[in-house]
Structure 1
């Protein structure tokens, strides 16, 4: 596959003070078929989403709750393997005017079988603005980061709010796209985010990196996003809340693309002035 000639796209920039950006998580291929999912990505771009964390589906994720796990199973049943995900990305990413795409892939299921250099090269050449490797063992992380640096592929690093100081420092030092701060231990969708508790760790991380700080796990609505902005987050990541609405729309025989637009509009309403929501 020839490398796509795309300009690098910044993450979560251009917002006002305490006005965090929005990232959303989706499993590639859910909802399907491919033309519906492509229309969904373009609708999210048009609606003003800053980043889509686009997962290469894999089964039985230990970090995901039932909503995301059902989504991954539907995507796999729709044939959304790595090759199909990269084809979709290569077709749609050049048509997206605003939204960046962070390709999320599981170490064991997707990255390790190919090896980090080959996987990262394929991701870059398909148009990924960043890569997030899920579940990489500590010994593998340096290899991933070195391979990414050699080809100029920005990387998302992760840590938990209660990670040890050395883990926080490593995540901050090595983030070249953005740092994903996981708000709490457990599975996606299991508990609501508590923004006030995250202020100290966001302050600490801000002193360690210039990379944007995105918070996920338990972000359910506009009030959460606004509160995270007040605590110093550059962005919020919404996964289960969006995927659940898309699932419900499909089950009800409704258009998931229309539902996605409605969900994003709800998430981007300013809680300080509901008459002046953010516009793309």
Structure 2
């Protein structure tokens, strides 16, 4: 299906470059600052925005993203608030793809049918739900596809050629390759192996492959951009939010710019690699 995500990756591929995918948690450090930050990301060079759905038990995430979820929940963010944030973003940006990333429990509590209808109406383009395996596709993946949303799957270094077809069966938009085993933001990937891993996945799918986990600096982003269709950065950005806060954990005048400054340098590095 033709979506903002497919269009974005295709346009950047035609321009001979990878796409930059940026992750922040909705409502971190507070809803007002979070909206300002999300609105600023495209201008800083983000091609796709992954928006974390705050959850009290983000088991697949490292400390930086866990803390961002806690800050957002403490500030009153909810799944409905996340969808409202997307709707407010769409009032001034109809082009940048938005992918909601998180866990199934808040969606289940919200109600799958209601969630998909509200997500589509708000302007969400895709979903990454890390704790729903392909065997559970009927729960959310298939209904999401029927609602016109991309359902993006994660592949890892331990996803072998026997498992890949199941992982990719109902995947659309792009494949998110997790370049290290373990939780987010805790190690730096072996960049020499990324291109081989991407090539292996591409033998099973025509979808773009975006690579994340452990990307913290422009040189990391450039190294991944040489072998992948997209570069995903998350923990480094939410850690900048944390370190920009004042002694009471409140946003400062540096909170948005701390993130957008790094995004700008990452975007320059990614765009400097011609394919």
Same fold (TM over 0.5): yes
Q: Is the 8 A contact 2:176 2:212 kept in 1?
A: yes
Query: Residue 21 of structure 2 aligns to a residue in which SS?
Result: strand
Scaled by the length of structure 2, the TM-score of the pair is 0.88
Match of 1:35 in 2: 32
Structure 1 gaps, min length 5: 1-6
Match of 1:63 in 2: 60
Match of 1:242 in 2: 237
Match of 1:93 in 2: 90
CA distance in 1, matches of 2:133, 2:223: 33
Bigger shift: 91-100 or 76-85?
A: 91-100
Name which of 18, 21, 24 aligns with 1:23: 21
1:176-255 alignment, distance < 5 Å: 176-231=172-227, 233-251=228-246, 253-255=252-254
Query: Residue 24 of structure 1 aligns to a residue in which SS?
Result: strand
Measured after TM superposition, the shift of residue 143 of structure 1 is: 3.3
Scaled by the length of structure 1, the TM-score of the pair is 0.86
Q: CA RMSD in A?
A: 2.2
| Residues 19 and 225 of structure 1, relative CA distance in 2, 3 Å threshold | farther
Query: Residue 269 of structure 1 aligns to a residue in which SS?
Result: helix
Measured after TM superposition, the shift of residue 44 of structure 1 is: 0.3
Give the 4+ runs in structure 1 shifted more than 4 A: none
Name which of 139, 157, 168 aligns with 2:164: 168
Aligned length: 265
Measured after TM superposition, the shift of residue 78 of structure 1 is: 0.8
1:67-78 alignment, distance < 5 Å: 67-78=64-75
Structure 2 gaps, min length 5: none
Q: Is the 8 A contact 1:11 1:178 kept in 2?
A: no
Q: What does the per-residue CA deviation read over 1:60-111, in whole Å, with 9 as the maximum and x for residues that have no partner?
A: 322111111111100001111111111111111231254210011311x212
